[in-house]
Every structure is written in C-alpha cells, then in structure tokens.
Amino acid sequence: MEAKTLFYNKKEKFEAELVKITKQINLISMLRLASVILVFVLVYFFSQTSNYLILTAIVALIIVFLFLANKHQDLIDYKLHLEALIKINKDELLVFESELEHLDSGRAFINTQHDYSYDLDIFGDNSIYQYINRSCTYAGKKRLANMLESPLKSIKEIVERQNIVKELSSKTDFRQEFQARGSLVEENPRENDALIEWIKEPAVFLNNKFVNIVRFLSPVILLGLFIAGVFDGRYMSFFIMMAVLNLAIVAFYTGRVNNIHQKTSKKNGVLNKYLKLLQVFSKESFQNEELVQMQSETNASIKEISSIAKIVNRFDQRLNILVAIFLNAFYLHDLHCVVALEKWRDKNRDKIEDWLEVLFEVDALNGLGNYAFCNPQHIYPKITETGLFVEASGVGHPLLVHQECIVNDIGLGKSENMIILTGANMSGKSTFLRSLGTNTVLALIGAPVFASRFECPIMNVMTSMRLTDSLKERASYFYAELKRLQMIVEALERGDKLLIILDEILKGTNSDDKLTGSIALIKKFVGFNALGMIATHDLELGKLSEELKGKVSNYCFESTIENDILSFDYKLNPGVAKNKNATFLLNKMKIV
C-alpha cells in the first residue's frame, strides 16, 4: 500500500476509535458520579436504620467505584495514546504536502564550521534532518544528528545499517507505536545526562552500618512491644516511645533523604518513558541479526527499570504527610526506600548506559526507516571497496517531490575528476550540487538515496557554498571562505579521499583576482586524490578542460528566453553555458 494512503487510513481508524473511547470515558464518568451519590444516599439510610444489607451495598458500591476509577484512568491513557497516533499520521500526511514546519528542524545542531552540514541544509528549516527525524527522545535526536554528520567508515557498517533500515521501513506499526509512547512524556535536553549523573552519584546510606541495622531491628522491636502490649497494657507506653524514636531517627536524616527524593522523583518520568519504549522494542519480532542482538541486550533492562519505578512510587508515598508519619513510625519507610534506591544504582550503574544506547539507536534509526518507507522509489546505493568515483543515474534532491523533480545523471572519477558547472541564475546549479552532496552523505550513513543507480566508495564530503562572517572572530566572508578552502587542502594533503563541492568560490575579491585564484585552486585540486564539482559564473574557467584534458570537464544548466519568457529545463548537459538572464530579469522586473 502506498505510504500516503496507509497514513490516511491509520488516521481515520484512530479517529474512529477515539470517538468510541471518548463515549466510554463519558459513560464511566457518569457511572462514577452516580456511584458516589448513591454511596452518600445509602450512608444516610444506614445511619437511620443500621441495616447491614445497606452496609453491604455501600461496600459493594465502593468496590465498583474503585473499579470504575481504574477503568477510567486506563481509558484516559488509551485516549492520549490514540491522540498521539492521530497526530503522527496527520504529521506524515503534511510531509507529503511538502509542509515540514510542524516538525523539529534540528536548529540546535547547526554548525557553520562542519565539513558539509551547513552548506547542504542538513539542519534547520526545510532540512534533511527535519524531513527524516522521528525521534521521541532528545538523545535519539542527537544520535540522528550525529549519524548525519558522521558517515560510516566501513562497507560492513554501511551494509549492516542498510539492512536495519530496510527492516524498520517495513514495520510502520512498530515505528508509530514507539514514537507515540515516547511522545507522551516531555523531555528536556538535559534529562538523559542528568539521569546518568544521578545513577553515578556515590551512595550515602548503602554502607551506613547504623542505618542498615536500625531499619530492620527497630520494626522488629516495635512489633514485639505491640504484641506484648496486647497481653500487658504496660508495654504500650514503650511501644509509643519506640514509634516516636523511629520518627526521630528518620527526622535526623530528613535533609539527606529529601535531597535524594527530590532528585529521584524528577527521574521517574523519564525512566517510565524509557521503560515503555523498551517494552515496545522488546515485544517486536525482528529478523535482522543486529536488531535481534540489540533486543537481547535490553531484555534485562525492562525488569530492572520496572523495579526502580516501583521503588520510586513507594518512595513518593512520603508526600502524604499522614502516610509518611505512619510508615516511618512503624517501618522507617524513608530509610528503606533510599537504601533500595542506592542498591539499585550500585547494581546497574555500569549497565544502564548500554541499555539506553540501544534505545537511542533504535529511536534514531526509526526516522531512517520511516524515510525509506515513504520513498520506495529511492534505492540503496552500492558502496565499493576501491577507487574514487561517483556514478549515479536519476539523481534528485530528497526534499523535492519525486514526481515533479527533474533528475540528472552524473559520472565523476571515471573520465574526469573535476567538473566546472556553469549556468544562468536560477538554472539549477546549486540545487544539483546539494543533490549530489546530500545523496552522497545519505549513501555513506546507510540510508536510501534519491537515484535509480548510485555507486561510490567511502570518502569524505567537504563543501564551500554558504559562508558566514563572524563579528566575534572579526572574520569577513572572504576570510571565512579562505579558511574553509584551507581546511579542504589540508585534508587533501593528509591523503583523505574527498568529494569537494564548491559554489562560486572566491566571491569576495575582484573578477580578475577571482579568476586567477580559481584556476590555481582547481589545478591544485587535480593533483590530489579528489573529486570535485565547482559551480561558477566565470565562463573563462571552462577553458581549463583543454589545459587539463581528462581531469577537468565542463557541464552546464541552460536557460532559454523565447517570446519574452524565461524558462529552464534543469537538465545537466555537457559544455559551457551560453545563455544569460540577469539583464533580462532586471528589465522584466522594471528594476532598470
């Protein structure tokens, strides 16, 4: 089934279910109210008649009320889950309309100094990250950002990633269930780091001999005094004194206990979120060996995280002052809870990061799986062992609508290493540069690419397309570009395999100086193990194809002006561009 149709059908199904559940919630709410009113009525009649049948009815109604209250909460939870699923499918339908504004843009990950991410619009509004990301944890979002910025370094890793993405792409129900469960709990960017810091905190009570003796001995003594007091009332005064002593012992440690409780309660929400995500992951059936192995690594985590959730819920009982007084007087409740917490941390502090690493990896990979599912026309590229080339057919930009995008073929490294790309304004040069760069990055992280054929080796991508000046560093655009070009040359001199993508280099100097410098730079590039595509308006650079035959070729995007109408075909053709449109547009728009 086509992805868009599937998302629409899911939305309709969940909306119909939501209507039904909402009616059930309203009915149970009325039944709860009726049971409460009836209890008060029966209490009144019981006070008048002392009829024990009425008392039995009251008890039965209280039991019914508790059942309805529990059922009501279950339905509320299910309603929130349905609303999350509806939103997920509505969001996916908006993406098919090329609307991305409702999705996280990844603006926090923008790095103007990165080798390619800023130039290729990996992060920010209408970015690759915004299109792909479906993570429901902040750490998962960071993991996806790191994937997009850090291509894999071996063919084995890339093939393994491709196989994982293929399986996840076929599991729409799992991906949406995972995303919906995770979206129900808000999580701030510091949450996971704070959790790990909390796990690694040193124990305060675990090795305290007095605490570990008194928390068991005192309740035993208290129980003995109570039993003795039943037979001899004189012991009841000792029983009361012991209960007060217990409260005094707990009060002595109140400051430290409060500090531990405050930190722990803040972690309970995110721990429950991670628990639900791990449960969803553990229940899914996978064929891929890597996913099966990841599942086995996290199976133990479900039991352990469930246990700490129970400890925290028990610890939270101290928030009710009457309950706290009773439990601490007779059981030293707070001390038992803090010791149980510290035992859990001591047992799991070296394991939890590994469990969460798996969770965050799956969270990030779900986005790539969804991207693959929504773009079945995209293919998994072939990554080769040797050589330095890019051979691709039907290349388009992943953010463009597949049916409307004009695709092109490209071959670099077999007949020439450098392409000089010319063309008039708006003819498609920059879009094609980004198409080549973005698809190469996706290929090297194990994702599908927008192409009918794509083959390349493992290499680094470096770009210089969109530069920014810096008031802080007092750097001009021109100096910023020189620094970027210096980084590229240094990488070449280290022996790195590079795909270099440049758009209008040396634009901060005069035309003669720009041309001379551009020629010198291209001549330097061809002396290294590098591929390059350089877009320019300097048609003189086209002459390098004669001087550096077999190393440099010319390609262009042409525009045509017919009957006072400017048009583009966005097709890549051999040769140097012949047509210009700047003057025409200035006149057309009545600027000059």
Q: Model confidence over 512-551: pLDDT tens digits?
A: 788 888 899 999 998 888 999 999 888 888 889 888 888 9
Neighbours of 531 (CB within 10 A): 24
The length of the chain is: 592
Q: What per-residue confidence (pLDDT) applies to 374?
A: 96
Q: What per-residue confidence (pLDDT) applies to 421?
A: 93
Strands 390-395, 408-412: pairing kind: antiparallel
- In the structure encoding, which two tokens stand for residue 51, read together? 């009829």
Instruction: Report the distance separating Cα 173 and Cα 184, nearest Å.
Output: 17
Instruction: Report the distance separating Cα 345 and Cα 207, nearest Å.
Output: 13
Instruction: Report the distance separating Cα 313 and Cα 256, nearest Å.
Output: 19
Place of tokens 């700047």: 582
Q: What per-residue confidence (pLDDT) applies to 330?
A: 87
Q: What per-residue confidence (pLDDT) applies to 471?
A: 43
Instruction: Report the distance separating Cα 165 and Cα 157, nearest Å.
Output: 12
Beta bridge partners of 556: 422, 573
DSSP class per residue in 267-281 = HHHHHHHHHHHHHHH
Q: What per-residue confidence (pLDDT) applies to 383?
A: 96
- In the structure encoding, which two tokens stand for residue 241, read together? 């004194």
Spatial neighbors of 209 by CB under 8 A, at least 6 apart, are none
Q: What per-residue confidence (pLDDT) applies to 473?
A: 46
Q: What per-residue confidence (pLDDT) applies to 378?
A: 96
Spatial neighbors of 408 by CB under 8 A, at least 6 apart, are 394, 395, 396, 432, 435, 570, 571, 572
Neighbours of 522 (CB within 10 A): 23
Q: What per-residue confidence (pLDDT) applies to 472?
A: 44
Tens of pLDDT, residue by residue over 86-106, are 999 999 999 999 899 999 999
Mean pLDDT in order along the chain per 10 residues (592 residues) = 91 97 96 92 85 87 91 94 97 94 94 94 96 95 96 95 97 97 84 80 88 90 85 83 90 90 80 90 93 88 86 84 86 91 88 88 97 96 93 94 87 89 85 96 97 96 76 60 90 93 80 85 89 89 88 88 75 84 56 58
Residue 311 near residue 334, CB atoms below 8 Å: no
Strands (DSSP E) contained in 65-112 are none
Instruction: Report the distance separating Cα 281 and Cα 523, nearest Å.
Output: 53
Q: Within 13 Å of residue 202, how many CA atoms lie on the same side as its CB?
A: 3
Cα–Cα distances (Å) from 33 to 22, 55, 56, 575, in that order, read: 17, 19, 19, 81
Q: What per-residue confidence (pLDDT) applies to 200?
A: 82
Instruction: Report the distance separating Cα 117 and Cα 110, nearest Å.
Output: 8
For residue 498, count CB atoms less than 10 angstroms from its CB and return exposed for 0-12, middle for 13-18, buried for 19 or more.
Answer: buried
551 phi and psi, to 5 degrees? -115, -30
pTM score, two decimals?
A: 0.87
